[in-house]
Amino acid sequence: MFLCGDAGPLAVGAVVHHKLNNTADSKDCLSRLLQLQRSVLSPDSEMPDELLYGRAGYLYALLYINKEIGANTVDESTITKVVTAIVESGKTMSADQKKTERCPLLYEWHKKQYIGAAHGLAGIYYTLMQPEAKVPADILSELVRPSIDYVRHKKFRSGNFPSSLSNESDRLVHWCHGAPGVVHMLIMAHKIFKEEKYLKEAAECAEVIWHRGLLRKGYGICHGTAGNGYTFLTLYKITKDKKYLYRACRFAEWCLDYGTHGCRIPDRPYSLFEGMAGAIHYLSEIASPETSCFPAFEL
Protein backbone atom coordinates (compact mmCIF):
# COMPACT_ATOMS: atom_id res chain seq x y z
CA MET A 1 0.00 0.00 0.00
CA PHE A 2 2.92 2.35 0.56
CA LEU A 3 4.50 1.67 -2.82
CA CYS A 4 1.49 0.57 -4.88
CA GLY A 5 -1.51 2.33 -3.41
CA ASP A 6 -2.87 5.59 -2.02
CA ALA A 7 -1.09 5.43 1.34
CA GLY A 8 2.38 6.21 -0.04
CA PRO A 9 1.47 9.31 -2.06
CA LEU A 10 -0.68 10.63 0.79
CA ALA A 11 2.11 10.09 3.34
CA VAL A 12 4.70 11.73 1.09
CA GLY A 13 2.27 14.57 0.33
CA ALA A 14 1.71 15.19 4.03
CA VAL A 15 5.45 15.33 4.65
CA VAL A 16 6.26 17.57 1.67
CA HIS A 17 3.48 20.03 2.53
CA HIS A 18 4.64 20.03 6.16
CA LYS A 19 8.18 20.92 5.14
CA LEU A 20 6.85 23.68 2.87
CA ASN A 21 4.74 25.02 5.75
CA ASN A 22 1.53 24.28 3.88
CA THR A 23 -0.21 23.26 7.07
CA ALA A 24 -3.73 22.89 5.70
CA ASP A 25 -2.63 20.72 2.78
CA SER A 26 -0.47 18.58 5.06
CA LYS A 27 -3.37 17.98 7.42
CA ASP A 28 -5.65 17.15 4.49
CA CYS A 29 -3.26 14.47 3.22
CA LEU A 30 -2.92 13.06 6.74
CA SER A 31 -6.69 13.00 7.21
CA ARG A 32 -7.18 11.14 3.93
CA LEU A 33 -4.43 8.70 4.91
CA LEU A 34 -6.11 7.93 8.23
CA GLN A 35 -9.46 7.43 6.48
CA LEU A 36 -7.98 4.37 4.80
CA GLN A 37 -8.08 2.58 8.16
CA ARG A 38 -11.53 1.21 7.47
CA SER A 39 -10.35 -1.22 4.80
CA VAL A 40 -7.03 -1.83 6.55
CA LEU A 41 -8.55 -2.86 9.87
CA SER A 42 -11.60 -4.75 8.68
CA PRO A 43 -11.17 -8.52 9.19
CA ASP A 44 -13.53 -9.04 6.23
CA SER A 45 -11.38 -6.92 3.92
CA GLU A 46 -9.59 -8.66 1.07
CA MET A 47 -6.56 -6.48 1.67
CA PRO A 48 -3.32 -8.49 1.87
CA ASP A 49 -0.69 -7.93 4.55
CA GLU A 50 2.41 -7.43 2.40
CA LEU A 51 4.48 -4.30 1.88
CA LEU A 52 3.59 -3.13 -1.61
CA TYR A 53 -0.21 -3.34 -1.54
CA GLY A 54 -1.13 -4.34 1.99
CA ARG A 55 -1.27 -3.63 5.70
CA ALA A 56 2.50 -3.65 6.23
CA GLY A 57 2.77 -0.88 3.64
CA TYR A 58 0.09 1.10 5.45
CA LEU A 59 1.91 0.65 8.74
CA TYR A 60 5.10 1.86 7.09
CA ALA A 61 3.26 4.98 5.86
CA LEU A 62 2.15 5.82 9.42
CA LEU A 63 5.66 5.29 10.82
CA TYR A 64 7.09 7.44 8.02
CA ILE A 65 4.72 10.28 8.99
CA ASN A 66 5.84 10.16 12.61
CA LYS A 67 9.49 10.08 11.66
CA GLU A 68 9.33 13.02 9.26
CA ILE A 69 6.70 15.25 10.87
CA GLY A 70 7.02 14.36 14.53
CA ALA A 71 6.30 11.66 17.09
CA ASN A 72 2.60 11.12 17.80
CA THR A 73 1.48 12.91 14.62
CA VAL A 74 -0.24 9.57 14.14
CA ASP A 75 -1.29 8.53 17.64
CA GLU A 76 -0.01 5.34 19.18
CA SER A 77 -3.47 3.76 19.39
CA THR A 78 -3.88 3.95 15.61
CA ILE A 79 -0.53 2.29 15.03
CA THR A 80 -1.39 -0.38 17.60
CA LYS A 81 -4.65 -1.17 15.78
CA VAL A 82 -2.80 -1.68 12.49
CA VAL A 83 -0.15 -3.84 14.16
CA THR A 84 -2.89 -5.93 15.79
CA ALA A 85 -4.65 -6.40 12.44
CA ILE A 86 -1.41 -7.65 10.85
CA VAL A 87 -0.65 -10.00 13.75
CA GLU A 88 -4.18 -11.42 13.91
CA SER A 89 -4.22 -11.97 10.15
CA GLY A 90 -0.93 -13.88 10.40
CA LYS A 91 -2.15 -16.00 13.31
CA THR A 92 -5.33 -16.89 11.44
CA MET A 93 -3.49 -17.97 8.29
CA SER A 94 -1.02 -19.98 10.35
CA ALA A 95 -3.85 -21.79 12.15
CA ASP A 96 -5.64 -22.48 8.85
CA GLN A 97 -2.45 -24.00 7.45
CA LYS A 98 -1.77 -25.92 10.69
CA LYS A 99 1.60 -24.21 11.15
CA THR A 100 0.98 -22.44 14.45
CA GLU A 101 3.87 -24.18 16.21
CA ARG A 102 6.37 -23.84 13.36
CA CYS A 103 5.45 -20.43 11.93
CA PRO A 104 3.05 -18.52 14.22
CA LEU A 105 2.63 -15.64 11.74
CA LEU A 106 1.96 -16.77 8.18
CA TYR A 107 0.84 -14.67 5.22
CA GLU A 108 -0.02 -15.15 1.57
CA TRP A 109 -0.51 -13.02 -1.51
CA HIS A 110 -2.37 -14.26 -4.58
CA LYS A 111 -2.70 -17.71 -2.96
CA LYS A 112 1.06 -18.11 -2.46
CA GLN A 113 3.08 -17.83 0.74
CA TYR A 114 5.83 -15.62 -0.60
CA ILE A 115 9.08 -15.13 1.30
CA GLY A 116 10.62 -12.02 -0.26
CA ALA A 117 10.46 -8.38 0.77
CA ALA A 118 7.89 -7.09 -1.71
CA HIS A 119 4.99 -9.50 -1.29
CA GLY A 120 6.15 -11.85 1.41
CA LEU A 121 7.09 -12.72 4.92
CA ALA A 122 10.44 -10.89 4.99
CA GLY A 123 8.84 -7.50 4.32
CA ILE A 124 6.08 -8.03 6.86
CA TYR A 125 8.37 -9.27 9.64
CA TYR A 126 10.81 -6.44 8.92
CA THR A 127 8.06 -3.85 9.33
CA LEU A 128 6.77 -5.41 12.54
CA MET A 129 10.28 -5.24 14.00
CA GLN A 130 10.54 -1.48 13.47
CA PRO A 131 11.00 -0.02 16.98
CA GLU A 132 8.59 2.81 16.15
CA ALA A 133 5.81 0.25 15.65
CA LYS A 134 6.09 -0.56 19.38
CA VAL A 135 5.13 -4.18 18.91
CA PRO A 136 5.02 -5.75 22.40
CA ALA A 137 8.09 -7.72 23.39
CA ASP A 138 6.12 -10.93 23.92
CA ILE A 139 4.74 -10.79 20.37
CA LEU A 140 8.22 -10.19 18.98
CA SER A 141 9.73 -13.07 20.92
CA GLU A 142 6.86 -15.58 20.77
CA LEU A 143 5.43 -14.91 17.31
CA VAL A 144 7.81 -12.89 15.12
CA ARG A 145 11.13 -14.53 16.04
CA PRO A 146 10.01 -18.17 15.55
CA SER A 147 8.43 -17.16 12.25
CA ILE A 148 11.72 -15.64 11.13
CA ASP A 149 13.52 -18.81 12.18
CA TYR A 150 11.05 -20.87 10.16
CA VAL A 151 11.90 -18.81 7.06
CA ARG A 152 15.63 -19.14 7.78
CA HIS A 153 15.37 -22.89 7.51
CA LYS A 154 14.03 -22.58 3.96
CA LYS A 155 17.37 -21.24 2.73
CA PHE A 156 19.02 -23.09 -0.14
CA ARG A 157 22.53 -24.45 0.29
CA SER A 158 23.66 -21.70 -2.09
CA GLY A 159 22.65 -19.04 0.45
CA ASN A 160 19.67 -17.91 -1.60
CA PHE A 161 15.99 -18.18 -0.63
CA PRO A 162 13.01 -19.49 -2.63
CA SER A 163 10.38 -17.06 -3.86
CA SER A 164 7.68 -18.86 -1.86
CA LEU A 165 7.44 -21.64 0.71
CA SER A 166 6.24 -24.08 -1.96
CA ASN A 167 8.87 -23.18 -4.56
CA GLU A 168 12.00 -25.32 -4.80
CA SER A 169 13.68 -23.35 -7.59
CA ASP A 170 16.93 -21.58 -6.68
CA ARG A 171 16.61 -19.03 -9.49
CA LEU A 172 15.60 -15.52 -8.43
CA VAL A 173 18.10 -13.24 -6.71
CA HIS A 174 15.97 -10.11 -6.35
CA TRP A 175 14.90 -7.76 -3.57
CA CYS A 176 11.32 -8.81 -4.28
CA HIS A 177 12.04 -12.57 -4.44
CA GLY A 178 15.23 -14.05 -3.01
CA ALA A 179 18.12 -13.33 -0.68
CA PRO A 180 18.44 -9.54 -1.30
CA GLY A 181 15.13 -8.82 0.45
CA VAL A 182 15.62 -11.38 3.21
CA VAL A 183 18.93 -9.73 4.18
CA HIS A 184 17.12 -6.68 5.56
CA MET A 185 14.87 -8.87 7.70
CA LEU A 186 17.88 -10.75 9.08
CA ILE A 187 19.77 -7.57 9.91
CA MET A 188 16.76 -6.13 11.71
CA ALA A 189 16.39 -9.40 13.62
CA HIS A 190 20.05 -9.07 14.64
CA LYS A 191 19.37 -5.56 15.95
CA ILE A 192 16.24 -6.56 17.86
CA PHE A 193 17.16 -9.99 19.24
CA LYS A 194 20.95 -9.45 19.58
CA GLU A 195 21.80 -12.87 18.12
CA GLU A 196 24.83 -13.25 15.86
CA LYS A 197 23.23 -16.04 13.81
CA TYR A 198 21.09 -13.48 12.00
CA LEU A 199 24.05 -11.33 11.01
CA LYS A 200 25.99 -14.43 9.98
CA GLU A 201 23.21 -15.54 7.67
CA ALA A 202 22.85 -12.04 6.23
CA ALA A 203 26.53 -12.25 5.29
CA GLU A 204 25.90 -15.63 3.66
CA CYS A 205 23.12 -14.05 1.61
CA ALA A 206 25.53 -11.33 0.54
CA GLU A 207 27.85 -13.94 -0.94
CA VAL A 208 25.22 -15.31 -3.30
CA ILE A 209 24.24 -11.76 -4.24
CA TRP A 210 27.87 -10.93 -5.04
CA HIS A 211 28.14 -13.94 -7.35
CA ARG A 212 24.67 -13.83 -8.92
CA GLY A 213 23.27 -10.37 -8.30
CA LEU A 214 24.11 -8.48 -11.51
CA LEU A 215 20.75 -8.78 -13.23
CA ARG A 216 19.83 -8.44 -16.86
CA LYS A 217 16.27 -7.98 -15.69
CA GLY A 218 17.04 -4.33 -15.02
CA TYR A 219 18.81 -1.69 -12.98
CA GLY A 220 16.05 -0.83 -10.52
CA ILE A 221 15.42 -1.71 -6.90
CA CYS A 222 12.61 -4.26 -6.92
CA HIS A 223 14.18 -6.77 -9.30
CA GLY A 224 17.35 -5.09 -10.47
CA THR A 225 21.00 -4.55 -9.70
CA ALA A 226 20.50 -1.39 -7.63
CA GLY A 227 18.21 -3.21 -5.19
CA ASN A 228 20.79 -5.95 -4.80
CA GLY A 229 23.56 -3.43 -4.22
CA TYR A 230 21.75 -2.05 -1.18
CA THR A 231 22.55 -5.34 0.53
CA PHE A 232 26.21 -4.39 0.61
CA LEU A 233 25.56 -0.84 1.81
CA THR A 234 23.39 -2.14 4.64
CA LEU A 235 26.00 -4.69 5.72
CA TYR A 236 28.73 -2.06 5.51
CA LYS A 237 26.78 0.17 7.90
CA ILE A 238 26.49 -2.67 10.41
CA THR A 239 29.93 -4.28 10.13
CA LYS A 240 32.15 -1.44 8.80
CA ASP A 241 33.80 -4.13 6.69
CA LYS A 242 35.14 -2.34 3.60
CA LYS A 243 34.61 -5.48 1.55
CA TYR A 244 30.94 -4.59 1.42
CA LEU A 245 31.61 -1.01 0.43
CA TYR A 246 33.84 -2.26 -2.39
CA ARG A 247 31.12 -4.59 -3.59
CA ALA A 248 28.53 -1.83 -3.41
CA CYS A 249 30.77 0.32 -5.61
CA ARG A 250 31.24 -2.46 -8.16
CA PHE A 251 27.48 -2.85 -8.45
CA ALA A 252 27.27 0.91 -8.87
CA GLU A 253 29.74 0.72 -11.75
CA TRP A 254 27.43 -1.74 -13.47
CA CYS A 255 24.53 0.71 -13.04
CA LEU A 256 26.66 3.57 -14.43
CA ASP A 257 26.91 1.65 -17.71
CA TYR A 258 23.15 2.00 -18.08
CA GLY A 259 21.85 0.51 -21.30
CA THR A 260 24.96 -1.41 -22.27
CA HIS A 261 24.18 -4.80 -20.72
CA GLY A 262 21.23 -5.89 -22.82
CA CYS A 263 18.85 -5.50 -19.89
CA ARG A 264 15.16 -5.48 -20.65
CA ILE A 265 13.23 -2.20 -20.50
CA PRO A 266 10.87 -2.28 -17.50
CA ASP A 267 7.18 -1.45 -17.70
CA ARG A 268 7.88 1.83 -15.89
CA PRO A 269 11.38 2.75 -17.10
CA TYR A 270 11.76 5.90 -14.98
CA SER A 271 10.24 4.65 -11.71
CA LEU A 272 12.02 4.26 -8.37
CA PHE A 273 11.45 0.57 -7.87
CA GLU A 274 11.50 -0.65 -11.46
CA GLY A 275 13.52 1.81 -13.44
CA MET A 276 16.16 4.47 -13.79
CA ALA A 277 15.21 6.43 -10.67
CA GLY A 278 16.14 3.43 -8.51
CA ALA A 279 19.57 3.21 -10.09
CA ILE A 280 20.11 6.96 -9.65
CA HIS A 281 19.07 6.79 -5.99
CA TYR A 282 21.48 3.93 -5.40
CA LEU A 283 24.34 5.81 -7.08
CA SER A 284 23.67 8.84 -4.88
CA GLU A 285 23.82 6.68 -1.76
CA ILE A 286 27.29 5.42 -2.68
CA ALA A 287 28.57 8.95 -2.07
CA SER A 288 27.54 8.80 1.60
CA PRO A 289 27.55 5.13 2.65
CA GLU A 290 27.66 5.93 6.37
CA THR A 291 24.19 7.42 6.25
CA SER A 292 22.66 5.63 3.28
CA CYS A 293 19.38 3.82 3.72
CA PHE A 294 17.22 1.60 1.62
CA PRO A 295 14.55 3.83 0.06
CA ALA A 296 11.05 3.11 1.35
CA PHE A 297 12.35 0.24 3.44
CA GLU A 298 14.24 1.76 6.33
CA LEU A 299 13.09 4.12 9.06
Taking only the tens place, the pLDDT of each residue in 75-90 is 999 999 999 999 999 9
| Mean pLDDT, residues 44-50 taken together | 89
Taking only the tens place, the pLDDT of each residue in 184-212 is 999 999 999 999 999 999 999 999 999 99
Query: Annotated binding site: which residue ranges?
Result: 176, 222-223
Cα–Cα distance measured from residue 142 to residue 149, given in angstroms and rounded to the nearest whole number: 11
Among candidate residues 126, 131, 128, 31, the one with its CA nearest the CA of residue 71:
131
Which is higher by pLDDT, 106 or 293?
A: 106
Cα–Cα distance measured from residue 79 to residue 72, given in angstroms and rounded to the nearest whole number: 10
Q: Which helix (H) or strand (E) holds 209?
A: helix 196-212
What's the one-letter identity of residue 132?
A: E
- Among 7-11, 217-221, 287-291, which is the least confidently predicted range? 287-291
pLDDT-based confidence at 95, cuts 50/70/90? very high
| Mean pLDDT, residues 46-52 taken together | 92
Cα–Cα distance measured from residue 267 to residue 7, given in angstroms and rounded to the nearest whole number: 22
Cα–Cα distance measured from residue 187 to residue 197, given in angstroms and rounded to the nearest whole number: 10
Among candidate residues 18, 134, 4, 129, the one with its CA nearest the CA of residue 61:
4
* Average pLDDT over all residues of the chain: 91
Phi/psi of residue 112, each to 5°? -125, 145
Query: Annotated binding site for Zn(2+): which residue ranges?
Result: 176, 222-223
Taking only the tens place, the pLDDT of each residue in 17-29 is 999 999 999 999 9
Burial of 146 (0-12, 13-18, 19+ CB in 10 A): middle
First to last CA, the chain: 16
Which is higher by pLDDT, 41 or 258?
A: 41
Q: Over 60: is that where the pLDDT of 54 sits?
A: yes
pLDDT at 3: 75
What's the one-letter identity of residue 169?
A: S
Burial of 96 (0-12, 13-18, 19+ CB in 10 A): exposed
DSSP conformation class of 112? B
pLDDT-based confidence at 292, cuts 50/70/90? low
